[in-house]
């Protein structure tokens, strides 16, 4: 069955806005697991704009499902991951100036560096995912780097301004999922997914897991956190069942 990774970054964004202890990303994560999340995703950015090191360490001790730690490919983050040992790490590109993740990781253009990171994290028992664009070259590079999992960046699909553009991006993602599976990779997807577009991605045969955060946090303001999580999971499962 398709799985939902709930990204709790923007629970922390609200907390950081005032430096208060609330809302607690830990409380949100545990409630999300109860509401149907199959894993919890959190992005420890170099600028610590939302998730803090303490969030990662506390959550690693108390999550009942899986921790999917998103991070840049830096020595600082690799050291933290090797110390915390989350079940999953997703390597993502990162720029301080970005509002959010803008594209996929260029694995093909830095293969040896990504291969080294995959080997070091894999040797510690961490399953590595690479956050990449829906691109054949990047899929082949991900396999060459030794990552067992990829997460296809769905941001261009989510941000499409016309139905034609959305259809074109969806076709690219469909092809990428099929090719990734053919290469023997687990294929996940995420970024910019919400309650009105998730069915298009969840309905792609073979997609294993969707990581979704911003839209769930936004919806929770109106319907409550657990209902927002449960509704997203329901939409995904319905779409995957066809
Ligand atoms: C990699 C990705 O698409 C997101 O999970 C990432 O965390 C986005 O960064 P922000 O959460 O800071 O928007
Ligand atoms: N990797 C995508 C993710 O974790 C959540 O992205 P978004 O739903 O917050 O855009």
The pLDDT-based confidence of 50 (bands split at 50, 70, 90) is: very high
Residue 95 pLDDT > 90, yes or no? no
Residue in the structure block whose two tokens are 């409630």: 31
| Its pTM surpasses 0.90 | yes
pLDDT 10s digits, 135-161: 999 999 999 999 999 999 999 999 999
Q: Say how many C-beta atoms besides its own lie within 10 A of residue 46's C-beta.
A: 13
ipTM: 0.95
- Which residue CA neighbors atom 6 of ligand 2 most closely? 191
- Which residue CA neighbors atom 6 of ligand 1 most closely? 101
What are the structural domain ranges in the chain? 3-241
How far, in Å, are 7, 22, 166 from residue 189 at the CA level?
A: 13, 29, 16
Q: Ligand 1: which of 7, 193, 216 to mutate, judged by most atoms within 8 Å of the beta carbon?
A: 7
**CA neighbours within 13 Å on the CB side: how many for 169?**
19
**CA neighbours within 13 Å on the CB side: how many for 35?**
23
Identify the architecture of domain 3-241 in CATH: Alpha-Beta Barrel (3.20)
**Distance between start and end Cα atoms, the chain:** 12
């Amino acid at each position: 069955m398709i799985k939902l990774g709930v990204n709790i970054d923007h629970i922390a964004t609200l907390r950081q806005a005032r430096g208060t202890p609330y809302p607690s990303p830990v409380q949100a994560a545990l409630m999300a697991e109860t509401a149907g999340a199959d894993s919890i995703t959190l992005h420890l950015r170099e600028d610590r704009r939302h998730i803090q090191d303490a969030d990662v360490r506390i959550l690693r001790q108390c999550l009942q499902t899986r921790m999917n730690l998103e991070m840049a490919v830096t020595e600082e983050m690799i050291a933290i991951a090797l110390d915390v040992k989350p079940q999953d790490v997703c390597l993502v590109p990162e720029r301080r100036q970005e509002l959010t993740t803008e594209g996929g990781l260029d694995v093909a253009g830095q293969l040896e560096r990504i291969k080294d990171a995959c080997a070091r994290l894999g040797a510690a028992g961490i399953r590595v995912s690479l956050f990449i664009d829906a691109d054949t070259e990047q899929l082949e590079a991900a396999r060459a780097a030794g990552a067992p999992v990829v997460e296809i960046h769905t941001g261009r699909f989510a941000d499409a301004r016309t139905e034609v553009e959305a259809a074109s991006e969806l076709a690219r993602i469909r092809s990428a999922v099929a090719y990734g599976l053919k290469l023997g990779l687990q294929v996940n997807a995420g970024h910019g997914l919400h309650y009105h577009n998730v069915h298009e991605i969840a309905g792609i045969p073979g997609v294993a897991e969707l990581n979704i955060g911003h839209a769930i946090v936004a919806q929770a303001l109106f319907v409550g956190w657990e209902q927002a999580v449960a509704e997203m999971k329901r939409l995904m499962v319905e779409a995957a069942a066809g």
